Amino acid sequence: MKILITRTIKSALLDNIPKEFEVVMWKEEDSPMPRAELLREIEDADAVFTNVSDQIDFEVFERAKNLKVVGTMAVGFDNINVQEATKRGILVGHTPDVLSEAVAELALALMFATARRVVEGMNYIHQNQWESWGPYLFAGQKISGKKLGIIGMGRIGKILAKMARGINMEVLYSNRRRDEQTEAELNVDYRDLESLLKESDYVVMLAPATPETYHMLGYEQFALMKPTSIFVNVSRGSTVNEDDLYKILSEKKIFAAGLDVFEVEPIKNNHPLLTLDNVIAVPHIGSATVDTRDKMVEITLNNILRGLKGERLLHTVNK
Ligand code: DGY
């Protein structure tokens, strides 16, 4: 049986793959397997180890004659046509939970970095512009005692809420469904989206990419936020209308944005959002800590091997 791995994965865990499996791995580090190569290699693959940079769509499934398992090294699976996979009896596994703390930590990092203008301050020093201490030099926003609004209260949201409570933030959330148990356990309050945007000092997007969440935040929604408020996205770029976000930030109607994800990835350095001093952008690194990525590799491999042996996956997304 053939396992196709679409990125270079340097991990001793690959040595645990039983010898009866043929492993075909894309060997160019830091670049995804080209689409044409993926379409060719998938033809006789029994399983594919994939990630957010591949589109596992109808065409891929049409080409794949033997495919039994898709294992994505991610919690999000909007790049996979799960409905088509399910129709064809192909299992789709993902890696929730192990990355929740890392993603929540990056949300906090972006909150702190934008609030305290860390990158602007660093650039100022690099450009040799610092001549004296100033009473309001790079004065930013406080975090402790402020209100965090979480859009999408799933696994990552709950961990972020806990962390935020630990730094004395009040936490609001908005979600498809109200969750009274979480409210009691974490001391968080539910708000509809409009009220959450109006009241929060920090708004963190954690809703997954679905047809319902596509562009759920546009000019009208951002305009509800306070001029001192900060927007952070560590979920998926498609949840936000980026033209509108650019407009609201350049009109200084919100204070700043911290972005890990974009509508088109990789974002190009001539993108309008990257011309703004009040935007901090990082390249989709929410789960990128070494130990988290090790665990994601382990679960993805486990999902694949289990699927090939006809066992239940550790985490499946087929409905
Ligand atoms: C995920 O797991 O969905 C992340 O976005 C990838 O790091």
- Which among 80, 103, 259, 295 is the best mutation to test ligand 1's pocket, defined by most ligand atoms within 8 Å of the CB? 103
Nearest CA to ligand 1 atom 3: 76
Nearest CA to ligand 1 atom 6: 74
- Is residue 30 predicted with pLDDT exceeding 90? no
State how far Cα 159 lies from the chain centre. Answer: 15
Q: What is the pLDDT of residues 44-64, one digit of tens each?
A: 999 999 999 999 999 999 999
> What is the spatial distance between Cα 111 and Cα 204, in angstroms, rounded to a whole number?
9
Q: What are phi and psi of 172, to 5 degrees?
A: -115, 155
**Cα 10-11-17 angle, rounded to 5 deg:** 120
pLDDT classification of 1: cutoffs 50, 70, 90: very high
Percent of the chain residues topping a pLDDT of 90: 98
Q: Is the CB of 99 under 6 A from ligand 1?
A: yes
**How confident is the model over 267-289, as pLDDT tens digits?**
999 999 999 999 999 999 999 99
CA of 77, closest atom in ligand 1: 3
CA of 54 to the centre of ligand 1 (A): 12
List pLDDT tens digits, range 202-244: 999 999 999 999 999 999 999 999 999 999 999 999 999 999 9
Mean pLDDT of the chain: 97
Find where tokens 């001029």 sit. Answer: 227
Largest Cα separation within the chain, whole Å, is: 68
Decide: 102 in ligand 1 pocket, CB within 6 A. no
- ipTM here: 0.94
Ligand 1: which residue has its CA nearest to atom 2?
Answer: 74
Domains in the chain and their CATH numbers?
A: 2-96+290-308 (3.40.50.720), 100-281 (3.40.50.720)
Does the Cβ of 150 fall within 6 Å of ligand 1? no
**Ligand 1 pocket test: which of 49, 75, 80 has the largest number of ligand atoms within 8 Å of its C-beta?**
75
Residue 98 Cβ inside 6 Å of ligand 1? The answer reads no
Bridge partners (DSSP) listed for residue 203 = 149, 231
Ligand 1 site, residue 233, Cβ cutoff 6 A: no
Identify the band that residue 194 occupies on the pLDDT scale cut at 50, 70 and 90: very high
What confidence score (pLDDT) does residue 319 get? 84
Active site residues: 236, 265, 284
Respond yes or no on whether the N-terminal peptide bond of residue 266 is cis (omega within 30° of 0): yes
Percentage of the chain exceeding pLDDT 70: 100
Q: What average pLDDT score do residues 28-44 get?
A: 96
pLDDT tens for each residue of 146-187: 999 999 999 999 999 999 999 999 999 999 999 999 999 999
71 three-class SS: strand
Average pLDDT over residues 115-136: 98
pLDDT at 318: 96
Judged by DSSP in three states, 31 sits in coil
